[in-house]
C-alpha cells in the first residue's frame, strides 16, 4: 500500500512538469508567432521615395508593361558590331514598349539629354509563367522596328529644336535608383550617374482607420547610395543574380514617375509597398519597411482598447474588492428590506393553513403545524365556558 503511494507521487510530479513544459512551450510558440506576425510588412504600408539621381533601372514585372513616348532622337541596335552598318537610326518620334523580361537603364548625363539602354534578361522572363513574347519593342515614326536579340540604345536629340527639353515618364515594376561608382578600367573618365540626394517617408493606414499617417523620421539618402524598391540587392550570395531571391510574379510593382531636370539628372518619385532596401556606398544592404506592428501601434482604436484592458488588468484586485463590497452592501440592504416587511396575522395564517390542510373524507386529520395552531385547535375542540368560569 505504502509503495503505491510512493509511486503515485513521482507520477504526479512528472505529470506536473510535463504539463508545465507544454504550457510554457505553447505560450512561447504563441508569443513567437505573434512577434513574427507583427514584424511582417503591413499591407497598408507605403514607402514614398523621392530622389535626384543620375540613373534609374526599371524591370517590368510579370503581366506588366510600360510604354514611353520619347522625343526625337537616335536609336542603336546593340547587337550590331562596331564598324558594321545599320547600328544607328534617327527618328522624330520614338515609342518604347517594355514588358517582363526586359531591363531599361535610364540616365541623364547632360542637361536636356535622356538616354535609355534596353536589354533582354532571360532569367527575368523565365520567372513569369505567361512569358512575354517580346520583352521590348520600339516604334520609330509610326512604323515597327526590326527586333534585336541584345537590345537597343536610345538618346534624345540634343538641342530643343525638335522636342521638349524636359520630359516626364511613368515607371512601374522593380526599380533601382542609383548605381555603384565603377572601378577604373582604363576607359575615358566620365561622371558616374549615381544617386545625388533623396529621402524615404514611411506611411501607414492604422488598423480600424481610414486615415494615412506618416510615421517615423524621414530616411535621408546619402550620395552614392542605391535604393531597391523590392530589396533584391542582397537576396542571393555574392555575385549571384539580384532577383534570385525575389519572385517577380509575386511582387507588387513600385509605381511613380521620373522627370528630367534642366541641369541634368533625373527627379524620381516612386511609391513602393516595401520592404525596400537601401545600400550606402559599398555598405551592407538594410531594409526599409513599415511593419505590421506600426499599423497596430498607430491605431487610435487599438490604443483605446489597449488602455482600457491595461487599466482593467492593472486594477483587477481593486475592482474585485469593489465588486465584492458592493455585493455585500446590496445583500445587507436586501436583508434589511426583507426584515422590515410586517409579519402576517397569525389567525388568518392559521385558518388558511387549516383550510388548506382540511382533511379529505376518510383520511386522518392533519397534524397542527405550530403551537398557535394547536392552541386554536384545542379551543375549537373545548371552547372555554366563560359563563361557568365567571360564575
Partner 1 sequence: MNPRGARIDRRVVAGILAGLALATTSARGDFRPVPGREYHETLNATNRVRGEAVVAIVLGPTVEAQRADTIRVRLPVSYSGELRVEVLSADGRFRGEGSFTGSRGAERWVALRLGSGGDKEPPADATRPVSTETLALSVHGADGTLYVARWGGEASVPDDRGSLRIYVNSGRADIFIVPGAAKAVHCRSLTIAQPLRYDSYCDVPLANVPADGKFKLIRRDQFEEQTQTFSVYLPRE
Q: Under the rule (CB under 8 A), what is the footprint of partner 1?
A: 57, 74, 76, 78-79, 81-84, 88, 103, 105, 115, 117, 119, 121, 123-124, 150, 153, 155, 176, 179-180, 182-188, 190, 226, 228, 232-233, 237-242, 279, 282, 284
Q: What is the DSSP string of 335-379?
A: HHHHHHSPPPPHHHHHHHHHHHTPPPTTSPPPPP-SHHHHHHHHH
Instruction: Report in angstroms how near the CB of residue 307 gets to partner 1 at its nearest.
Output: 45
Angstrom distance (rounded) from CA 85 to CA 120: 22
Q: Which is nearer to partner 1, 182 or 384 (CB)?
A: 182
Q: What is the DSSP string of 306-329?
A: HHHHHHHHHTHHHHHHHHHHHHHH
Residue 1, CB-side half-sphere exposure with 13 Å CA sphere:
0
Q: Which is nearer to partner 1, 17 or 191 (CB)?
A: 191
Q: Which is nearer to partner 1, 8 or 244 (CB)?
A: 244
Instruction: Report in angstroms how near the CB of residue 308 gets to partner 1 at its nearest.
Output: 49
Q: Which is nearer to partner 1, 118 or 169 (CB)?
A: 118
Q: Which is nearer to partner 1, 79 or 95 (CB)?
A: 79
Cell matching residue 295: 499599423
Residue with cell string 516595401: 274
Instruction: Report in angstroms how near the CB of residue 167 gets to partner 1 at its nearest.
Output: 18
Q: Which is nearer to partner 1, 282 or 340 (CB)?
A: 282
Instruction: Report in angstroms how near the CB of residue 94 gets to partner 1 at its nearest.
Output: 14
Sign of CA dihedral 172, 178, 180, 184: positive
User: What's the burial of 337, exposed, middle or buried (CB within 10 Å: 0-12/13-18/19+)?
Assistant: exposed
Q: Collapsing DSSP states into helix, strand and coil, what is residue 173?
A: strand
Q: Which is nearer to partner 1, 41 or 76 (CB)?
A: 76
Instruction: Report in angstroms how near the CB of residue 182 gets to partner 1 at its nearest.
Output: 5
Angstrom distance (rounded) from CA 227 to CA 197: 11
Instruction: Name every residue whose Cβ is closer than 8 Å to that of residue 169 and which is 6 or more positions away in sequence.
Output: 68, 70, 106, 257, 258, 259
Instruction: Report in angstroms how near the CB of residue 107 gets to partner 1 at its nearest.
Output: 9
Angstrom distance (rounded) from CA 142 to CA 145: 9
Angstrom distance (rounded) from CA 114 to CA 157: 8
Output DSSP code: residue 205.
Answer: -
Instruction: Report in angstroms how near the CB of residue 242 gets to partner 1 at its nearest.
Output: 4
Q: Which is nearer to partner 1, 153 or 294 (CB)?
A: 153
Angstrom distance (rounded) from CA 107 to CA 332: 87
Instruction: Report in angstroms how near the CB of residue 277 gets to partner 1 at its nearest.
Output: 10
Angstrom distance (rounded) from CA 23 to CA 268: 53
Amino acid at each position: 500500500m505504502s509503495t503505491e503511494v510512493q509511486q503515485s507521487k513521482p507520477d504526479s510530479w512528472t505529470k506536473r512538469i510535463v504539463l508545465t513544459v507544454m504550457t510554457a512551450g505553447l505560450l512561447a510558440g504563441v508569443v513567437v508567432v505573434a512577434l513574427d506576425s507583427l514584424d511582417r510588412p503591413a499591407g497598408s504600408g507605403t514607402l514614398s521615395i523621392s530622389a535626384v539621381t543620375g540613373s534609374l533601372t526599371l524591370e517590368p514585372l510579370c503581366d506588366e508593361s510600360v510604354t514611353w513616348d520619347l522625343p526625337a532622337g537616335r536609336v542603336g541596335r546593340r547587337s550590331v558590331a562596331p564598324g558594321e552598318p545599320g547600328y544607328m537610326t534617327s527618328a522624330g518620334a520614338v515609342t518604347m514598349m517594355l514588358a517582363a523580361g526586359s531591363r531599361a537603364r535610364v540616365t541623364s548625363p547632360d542637361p536636356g539629354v535622356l538616354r535609355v539602354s534596353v536589354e533582354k534578361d532571360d532569367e527575368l522572363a523565365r520567372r513569369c509563367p505567361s512569358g512575354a513574347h517580346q520583352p521590348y519593342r520600339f516604334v520609330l515614326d509610326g512604323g515597327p522596328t526590326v527586333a534585336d536579340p541584345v537590345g537597343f540604345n536610345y538618346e534624345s536629340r540634343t538641342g530643343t529644336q525638335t522636342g521638349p527639353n524636359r520630359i516626364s515618364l511613368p515607371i512601374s515594376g522593380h526599380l533601382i535608383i542609383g548605381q555603384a561608382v565603377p572601378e577604373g578600367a582604363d576607359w575615358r573618365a566620365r561622371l558616374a550617374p549615381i544617386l545625388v540626394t533623396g529621402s524615404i517617408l514611411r506611411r501607414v493606414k492604422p488598423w480600424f482607420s481610414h486615415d494615412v499617417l506618416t510615421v517615423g523620421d524621414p530616411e535621408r539618402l546619402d550620395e552614392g547610395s542605391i535604393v531597391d524598391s523590392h530589396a533584391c540587392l542582397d537576396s542571393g550570395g555574392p555575385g549571384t543574380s539580384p532577383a534570385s531571391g525575389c519572385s517577380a510574379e509575386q511582387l507588387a510593382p513600385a509605381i511613380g514617375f521620373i522627370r528630367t531636370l534642366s541641369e541634368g539628372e533625373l527627379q524620381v518619385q516612386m511609391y513602393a509597398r516595401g520592404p525596400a532596401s537601401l545600400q550606402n556606398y559599398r555598405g551592407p544592404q538594410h531594409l526599409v519597411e513599415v511593419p505590421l506592428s506600426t499599423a497596430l501601434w498607430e491605431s487610435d482604436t487599438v490604443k483605446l482598447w489597449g488602455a482600457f484592458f491595461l487599466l482593467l488588468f492593472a486594477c483587477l484586485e481593486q475592482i474585485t474588492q469593489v465588486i465584492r463590497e458592493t455585493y455585500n452592501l446590496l445583500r445587507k440592504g436586501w436583508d434589511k428590506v426583507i426584515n422590515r416587511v410586517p409579519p402576517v396575522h397569525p389567525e388568518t395564517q392559521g385558518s388558511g393553513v387549516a383550510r388548506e390542510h382540511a382533511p379529505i373524507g376518510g383520511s386522518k386529520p392533519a397534524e397542527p403545524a405550530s403551537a398557535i395552531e394547536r392552541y386554536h385547535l384545542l379551543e375549537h375542540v373545548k371552547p372555554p365556558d366563560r359563563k361557568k368560569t365567571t360564575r
